[in-house]
Amino acid sequence: MAVYNISSSSTASAERGKKIENETRYVIEDLDCSHYMKIFDAQKVPLRVKSAKNLLHSIERHFGTLAFCRRWLDDLGEQRHLMALKNLVDSDLIQPYPPLVDVKGCYTTQMEHTVLIKPTGREVVSRGEDY
């Protein structure tokens, strides 16, 4: 994890609609996308659509580069934001994160750990007896 960047180079991502291999299983993106994240190092792009500019400003103000879902935009009072959000995705400013499935109609989970970095070393603090 880099400073101010929740997802750093240690993450694996897939191009939209392509299969990715995770150990011995394949997962694919499926269904409508509801989760998004601002691309940390996105290039400045001149946005011509006013609603997209306003939505990007709201996303930067409330979420920064943290992931968010469309429902949270509704909760902030952002109405009719689907076309503006699509414009931001098409402009490579926002990354969509659609649900992953390995069997049609079933969801796949992604497990991550929280790591505490101390002067004496690192400690995985999210590891429990079940994982």
β-strands 100-101, 94-96 pairing:
unpaired
For the chain, percent of residues with pLDDT exceeding 70: 70
Distance CA 23, CA 52 (A): 38
For residues 86 and 52, give the distance between their C-alpha atoms in angstroms, rounded to a whole number: 9
In this prediction, residue 12 carries a pLDDT of 41
The distance of Cα 110 from the centroid of its chain, to the nearest Å, equals: 12
- pLDDT value of residue 16: 44
Look at 75 and 127; give whichever has higher pLDDT: 75
Number of residues that this document lists for the chain: 131
**Residue 17: which pLDDT band, with cuts at 50, 70 and 90?**
very low
Alpha helices, DSSP H only, in 1-131? 50-62, 70-75, 82-90
Closest CA relative to residue 6, chosen from 63, 66, 56: 66
At 14, is the pLDDT very low, low, confident or very high (cuts 50, 70, 90)? very low
Higher pLDDT, 90 or 102: 90
Lowest mean pLDDT among 77-81, 88-92, 115-119: 115-119
How far apart CA 88 and CA 124 sit, in angstroms, is: 35
pLDDT value of residue 98 = 82
| More confident of the two residues 60 and 102 | 60
CA distance 50 to 40: 22
